[in-house]
Amino acid sequence: MRFLVDANLSPRIAVLLAAAGHHAEHVCDHGLLSASDQQILEHADAHGYVIVSADTDFVTMVALAGRTTPSVVLLRSADRLPPQDQAALLTANLPYWPTSRPEHWCR
């Protein structure tokens, strides 16, 4: 799984996820620090990233457009945690990530 961490979260999250063996980068790694949400969404979709954000706009944009990609991990309450705890929370929950098969989505 490839993660693209949004500008509203620390770049340290991407570093910690990468150190745990995941492909993770921050938007600043792609020159997207001041990009619009739409530009980030398109970049994530084009390069197979899952967006990690504390911003509900991505979820809304994907839903309203009727899109199925990219996936978005929303850290709403977790955005108050320090970056190391956010990365640990993501890593701990990856085994429960749904597959692309809908029959596995509601477990």
Domain boundaries, the chain: 2-104
Look at residue 107 in the predicted model and tell me its pLDDT: 42
Look at residue 1 in the predicted model and tell me its pLDDT: 84
Look at residue 98 in the predicted model and tell me its pLDDT: 67
Pick from 72, 45, 79, 77: which is nearest to 57 by CA? 72
Report the alpha-carbon distance of residue 76 to residue 89 in Å, rounded.
12
Pick from 80, 58, 61: which is nearest to 9 by CA? 80
Is residue 13 within 8 Å of residue 86, measured between CB atoms? yes
Report the alpha-carbon distance of residue 24 to residue 17 in Å, rounded.
6
Identify whether 11 is preceded by a cis peptide bond (ω within 30 of 0): no
Quick: pLDDT tens for 55-95: 899 999 999 999 989 999 998 876 688 999 999 999 998 88
Is the predicted pLDDT of residue 102 greater than 60, yes or no? no
Instruction: Between 1 and 30, name the one with better pLDDT.
Output: 30
Instruction: Say which amino acid occupies 106.
Output: C
Quick: pLDDT tens for 36-47: 999 999 999 999
Look at residue 97 in the predicted model and tell me its pLDDT: 75
